[in-house]
Amino acid sequence: MMAKAGGVVAGSRLYYQPPVPTSPPMPMSQIPALEIHDLRKVYAGGVEALKGISLDVQPGDFFALLGPNGAGKSTLIGIVSSLVNATSGSVKVFGTDISTDRETAMRQLGLVPQEVNFNFFEKPFDILCNYAGFYGIPRAEASRRAEQELRRAQLWEKAHATSRTLSGGMKRRLMIARAMMTQPQLLILDEPTAGVDIEIRRGMWRTLKEVNAAGTTVILTTHYLEEAESLCRNLAIIDGGRIIENGPMKALLAKLDVEGFLLDIEGELPASLPHVEGVDLRAADRFTLDLEMPRSMNLNSVFARLDGAGIRVRSMRTKTNRLEELFVRLTGNKEHAA
């Protein structure tokens, strides 16, 4: 992995500004960043949370792990980060089995959990220094990194405030800053943007992209499927303790055979809409057309038919998130992923 150094961009909403690489990226290792084989978990009450999960995440990947509530994602992340004991199966982090050499495996891993889990009575600066200390990083070096990470997270002004006084967004940023203290090669984020406003969320997206671009493998679970679609190159969908889909984002989205669009038109729609073969055309309101059509169909033919009927399209937008559509079809779940 490359050395990191960097600073905050003036006026930017980025809370973490990764460094500008000073040397070309090193060649990616062929060893998977995460290698899971036939992982099973049965809780004490008899609930079978994982039913034989096998999964590889390649180094340098930006990977989405999606699934409905109760699918087993948190159990999977818990086992990988050694917070949950597996019933059977194996987990390797960069080739190191967590059951035989936990120390080496955990040294490569950074975790941003779903729930805030730092001591509310401690100060952000101390939280970061102590966390680094748990990894054997000397206090002087930990203090230097803590200042750097807090400045990048735009939390330096709060460095010596009691952490319970931080806002929800600040707490989330603090947890990412904490995970970055050990410069992990594999960063796992469990719904890092849940409950933060869109401006901060977009800042976090930029940040995660840049962390990934600097060489860190990132695994993300999220409620926001457009987040996964825009950030991740590969994904796995987990449902009922099993992986039901796994592969490149583009290949999975290509499986969708229908696309939906909303067309904003000039003026008002006519009382009677034209018929276009193979296209479901409806009025969303007096100024908007709601259209669904096969992916194989050419949009030009639709526009020509509308033009012939005196309907001129001013602008167009995708009606639904494609990943959301795929997710709902695969899981049969009308609720979002979590």
Contact positions toward another protein, by CB under 8 A? 1-4, 43-44, 78, 81-85, 102-104, 106-109, 111, 113, 115-121, 126, 130-131, 133-139, 178, 182-185, 215
| Closest separation in Å from C-beta 105 to another protein | 8
Q: Distance between CA 287 and CA 121 in Å, rounded?
A: 55
Picking from 86, 263, 112, the residue whose alpha carbon sits closest to that of residue 193 is 112
Minimum distance of another protein from residue 120's CB (angstroms):
7
Residue (138 or 278) nearer to another protein, CB: 138
Whole-number minimum distance, CB 210 to another protein, in Å?
14
- We find the least distance from the C-beta atom of residue 153 to another protein, in angstroms, to be 17
**Shortest Cβ 82–another protein spacing (Å):** 6
In this complex, which beta carbon is closest to another protein, that of residue 116 or of residue 253? 116
Segments of 240-303 assigned E as strands:
242-248, 258-265, 280-285, 288-294
Measured CA to CA, the distance from residue 5 to residue 251 in angstroms comes to: 36
Give the β-pairing of 96-97 and 88-93: antiparallel
- Those residues whose C-beta lies under 8 Å from the C-beta of residue 72, and which sit 6 or more positions away, are 41, 49, 50, 53, 238, 240, 241
Residue 25 token pair: 């990226």
Among residues 324, 53, 65, the alpha carbon closest in space to that of 218 is found at 65
CB of 9 to another protein, least distance (A): 21
Residue with Cβ nearer another protein (12 or 88): 88
Q: Which is nearer to another protein, 56 or 101 (CB)?
A: 101
DSSP β-bridge partners for residue 292: 260, 280
**Quick one: how far is CA 155 from the chain centroid?**
22
- Residue (241 or 311) nearer to another protein, CB: 241
Q: Which residue lies nearer to another protein by CB, 154 or 216?
A: 216
